[in-house]
Amino acid sequence: MSKNFQEEVLNRVKQIPSGKVTTYGAIAREITGSVRAARAVAQAVAKNPYPIIIPCHRVVRSNGDVGGYSLGVDKKIRLLNEEGIEIEGRKVVNFEEVLFPFEPLRFVTDRMLGKLSTWLRILGHDTVYAAEVKDKSVEGEEEEDKALVAFAEQEARILLTRDKNLASSASKKGVQCVQIKTEDVMEQLKELLLRNVNINLEPVPVRCSECNARIRNVEEGEEEMLKEKSYVPTSRVGKWDFWVCEGCGRIYWEGSHWRNMRERLRRLK
Ligand SMILES: [Zn+2]
């Protein structure tokens, strides 16, 4: 097994939020395009140098069986229980519901939903905001609505809108659409859940909340990049994980910001 493969596996494992599980096969499919590498994934997971920190207890067998664990199966079950996953006779209860989708739902939002777009990005969902759908030929509200529906259709995104007319014209075109009825962003997230739109509820460092591009870990030797930004807590460099946006260069880190968000989301659950 190459070091790269192991790293790829552990990177996927890091993405699984608390309260969710995935399977060895799903990780194999993510990396190689096929479930055949499931065994190799299980071996890579077993060699996880930082159990619990890299949450490999959240990886189970494809039939819902909890599988093995370097610190013992009992410990694995206890950790999963603490995260709200029920286990009966070594099997995950409501398996389908707690499976973490590696390909999170993708959205496009209308101009009324800027704040919701930001939150969806923080939760790892690829979300394009109406103002970013670039088509210079579009003028006026009606044209913009048409362009939004066309964009959602082309990119197979779920359209989120406050506008009843826009929602109905999207539905007529067969575009998956949710009409949002509330104004508060937390209520809006709740609406999505109540409408069975399976959004992730754990902030994940995969996407820039400003521009929707991917963010990546700042590696050793790149710390200079952090010192150039006045808003970065430089005293934490070398102690905390930092991420950089591949689109706009914005720096992210796991600070109080995410803790607050996590708390608000917990209340939502
Ligand atoms: Zn960005």
What percent of the chain has a predicted confidence (pLDDT) above 70? 97
Boundary residue ending a domain (73, 98, 123)? 98
How confident is the prediction for the chain on average, in pLDDT?
89
Which pLDDT band holds residue 184 (cuts at 50, 70, 90)?
Answer: very high
CA angle at 11 for the pair 92 and 158, rounded to the nearest 5°: 70
Dist. CA 248 → ligand 1 center (Å): 4
Q: pLDDT class for 191, splitting at 50, 70, 90?
A: very high
> Could you give the CA distance from residue 158 to residue 168 in angstroms, rounded to a whole number?
13
Mean pLDDT for 160-167 is 96
Provide the pLDDT for residue 251.
Answer: 94
Residue 208 domain-assigned?
no
Mean pLDDT across 143-163:
93
In a domain, 9, yes or no: yes
CATH of the domain at 59: 1.10.10.10
Which residue, of 51, 73, 98, is where some domain finishes? 98
CA of 12 to the centre of ligand 1 (A): 21
Is-contact 269 201, C-beta < 8 A? yes
What's the confidence (pLDDT) of residue 199? 82
Per-residue pLDDT band at 201 (split at 50, 70, 90): confident
Q: Is position 124 within any domain? A: yes
Tokens matching residue 227 = 């010192």
Token couple for 59: 């990886």
Distance (Å) from CA 214 to ligand 1 centroid: 7
CB 152 within 8 A of CB 159: yes
- pLDDT score at 1: 62
Kindly give the distance from the C-alpha atom of residue 211 to the centroid of ligand 1, in angstroms, as a whole number: 4
DSSP string, 164-221: HHHHHHHHHTT--EEE---SSHHHHHHHHHHTT-----S--TTB-TTT--BEEEPPTT
pLDDT in tens, 51-80: 988 999 999 999 999 999 999 999 999 999
Please tell me the distance between residue 205's alpha carbon and the centre of ligand 1 in angstroms: 12
- Same domain? 72 vs 140: no
Other C-beta atoms within 10 Å of 95: how many? 16
CB 192 within 8 A of CB 178: yes
Q: Residue 156 pLDDT > 90, yes or no?
A: no
Residues 78 and 124 reside in one and the same domain: no
60 and 25 share a domain? Answer: yes
In a shared domain, residues 57 and 15: yes
On the question of pLDDT at 135 being above 70, the answer is no
| Three-state SS at 155 | helix
> Does residue 263 sit within a domain?
no
Q: Which residues are catalytic?
A: 56
87 and 16 in one domain?
A: yes
Tally of domains in the chain: 3
Residue 181 lies in a domain: yes
Whether residue 46 is found in the same domain as residue 121: no
Structural domain boundaries, residue 149: 107-194
Distance from the CA of 28 to the center of ligand 1, in angstroms? Answer: 29
Q: What is the CATH number of the domain that holds 121?
A: 3.40.50
